[in-house]
A and B are shown apart, each in its own frame.
Chain A
Amino acid sequence: MQYALMIYAEPGYDEALPDADRDAAYAEYLALADDPRCVGAAQLRPAETATSVRVVGGRTLMTDGPFADTKEVLGGFCLVEAANLDEAIELAARIPAARLGGAVEVRPVVQR
């Protein structure tokens, strides 16, 4: 089954870390992206770069900023192939943001 691991964290949480911890966290992100079970991963630019788009009455409306105005923002995601939820949760728990004050939302992907 495929799962999306969506990484939510406070902006700049990684910059506040001591250098050694930050390097270790980045190394873990890279290791996770290299895991054969990881079929896709992306780190997003900061939420200030976000544009939310709606189409109303045929017109494309834009607002500056992310869809939800929350302290934690979606900072990136991994798409993983896992045997079951337990395996997906184990992969999610390896994401540094999860232990550094953020959270990883695990959602199964609709199979087509």
Chain B
Amino acid sequence: MLEEVFRDEWGRVLASLVGFLGDFDKAEDAAQEAFAIAAQRWPASGVPANPGAWLVTTARNRAIDRIRRERTLAEKIHLLPVPEASMDEFDDTVIKDERLELIFTCCHPALPLEGQVALTLRALGGLETAEIARAFLVSEETMKRRLSRAKAKIKATGIPFAVPAAHLLPDRLDAVLAVIYLIYNEGYSGRVDLGAEAIRLGRVLAALMPDEPEAYGLLALMMIHHARRRARFSSEDLVLLDDQDRSLWDKRQIAAGRAVLDRAIALGGRGAYVVQAAIASLQTAERIDWPQIAQMYRRLVDLTGSPVVELNRAVALAQAGDPAAALRAVDRLDLDNYLYYHSTRGELLRRLGRDDEARAAYRRALELATSTPERRFLTRRLEQL
């Protein structure tokens, strides 16, 4: 229970402290101190009516004390002017939510991508360094260094704690969305519950940018995918959409994801995440409208210029009943080092009755497969030929 309050409040408290202190490390220390005090007191005294405000106030006071002590040591003369705040002055209307500023700082493109991801999970998600290290299969020491390098760069280079100006916002929002989606996709490959964490972050972002269709688009996309996660694996084997046991889908989450998608569309959303969410939504329909999905992928190709998206469009064409057209589209692509390029070709060739070529394609895919489920899946396909 306490842990849940902590997770919910961490991002908001830290954001407020970074804004107040202008320093990531000091803010983190102060937040940690306040949470430690809360962990000691709350079990006996009960959780205060406004835990966030209590934590921010406590952390601020501790930080000010510390700065004073350091100043006194250094100068032994002047005291910092300290805003005297009594507890009851603080409520939600006083402590403004600065998580959006924090998100844009953490996802600043001047930081290395892995640093952006780690910092977002630590600062906004409230994950412990050790948890993040486990999720990315690196040592805690490595993750600690990654986080401190990112924080040091923020400080040394003057990365602002601010929501970017309007003319910079589209690019910078793309960077934020990309970080959250990357976290989601890390979770999709089966590690820790980064999927749920990414959805939490997506929800925070959408709430903070209520007029931004792509924020809703990304959230909807992640929710609808996440709703199908239990059907994607059978024991450890990969299960394709066609063969998934739909009773394992989380119907409520799909409905919730669709509602979020509706909101994105109502806001005029036509961007890449909205389109992907629309595709994911169409794929959960009782009878899947593959021609429409192929059209959506066409729009996505136009938006992204990505050959991987074109590959997906080809799959939709095949599902819509035209494997020959699909193979023509696939053969135009230059994706020789991409596993799914070869597995898709293999499947299309199989459907067209060109078994020898299909076998060769599956073998090439097998060479590129890195995970055990992928390898098993491809081996099975090969055996069935």
Cβ-defined contact, B158 with A84, below 8 A:
yes
Contact with A along B103-125 (1 / 0, CB 8 A): 00000101000000000000000
Query: Nearest Cβ distance between residue B159 and chain A, in whole angstroms?
Result: 5
Cβ-defined contact, A1 with B158, below 8 A:
yes
Other-chain residue from B110, B156, B162 in contact with A89 (beta carbon distance below 8 A):
B110
Contact with B along A1-27 (1 / 0, CB 8 A): 100000000000000000000000000
Cβ-defined contact, B158 with A108, below 8 A:
yes
Query: Nearest Cβ distance between residue A100 and chain B, in whole angstroms?
Result: 20
Contact with A along B224-243 (1 / 0, CB 8 A): 00000000000000000000
Contact with A along B152-171 (1 / 0, CB 8 A): 00001111101011001000
Query: Nearest Cβ distance between residue B79 and chain A, in whole angstroms?
Result: 25
Instruction: Choose among A83, A85, A90 the residue with the greatest number of B CB atoms under 10 Å from its CB.
Output: A85
Cβ-defined contact, B156 with A86, below 8 A:
no
What CA separation (Å) do A90 and B108 show in the bound complex? Answer: 14
What CA separation (Å) do A86 and B158 show in the bound complex? Answer: 8
Contact with B along A60-97 (1 / 0, CB 8 A): 00000000000000000000001111101110000000
Cβ-defined contact, A85 with B157, below 8 A:
yes
Closest residue of B by beta carbon distance from A90:
B168
What CA separation (Å) do A84 and B160 show in the bound complex? Answer: 6
What CA separation (Å) do A67 and B110 show in the bound complex? Answer: 26
CB neighbours (8 Å) of A88 from chain B are 158
Q: How large is the interface on B (under 10, 10 to 19, 20 to 34, 35 or more residues)?
A: 10 to 19
What CA separation (Å) do A83 and B168 show in the bound complex? Answer: 15
What CA separation (Å) do A83 and B160 show in the bound complex? Answer: 9
Cβ-defined contact, B168 with A86, below 8 A:
yes
CB neighbours (8 Å) of A83 from chain B are 158, 160
What CA separation (Å) do A65 and B66 show in the bound complex? Answer: 52
Cβ-defined contact, B157 with A86, below 8 A:
no
CB neighbours (8 Å) of A106 from chain B are 157
Closest residue of A by beta carbon distance from B168:
A86
What CA separation (Å) do A88 and B160 show in the bound complex? Answer: 11
Query: Nearest Cβ distance between residue A87 and chain B, in whole angstroms?
Result: 8
Cβ-defined contact, B156 with A84, below 8 A:
no
Cβ-defined contact, A108 with B156, below 8 A:
yes
CB neighbours (8 Å) of A84 from chain B are 158-160, 162
What CA separation (Å) do A108 and B110 show in the bound complex? Answer: 13
10 pairs of A and B residues whose beta carbons are closest in the complex: A84-B160, A84-B158, A1-B158, A85-B158, A85-B157, A85-B159, A108-B157, A86-B160, A108-B156, A85-B110
B interface residues, Cβ below 8 angstroms from A: 108, 110, 156-160, 162, 164-165, 168
A interface residues, Cβ below 8 angstroms from B: 1, 82-86, 88-90, 106, 108
Q: Given A84-B158, A84-B160, A86-B162, list of 17 further CB < 8 A pairs?
A: A1-B158, A82-B158, A83-B158, A83-B160, A84-B159, A85-B110, A85-B158, A85-B159, A86-B160, A86-B164, A86-B165, A88-B158, A89-B110, A90-B168, A106-B157, A108-B156, A108-B157
Q: List 12 A-B contacts (CB under 8 A).
A: A83-B158, A84-B160, A85-B110, A85-B157, A85-B158, A85-B159, A86-B159, A86-B160, A86-B165, A88-B158, A108-B157, A108-B158
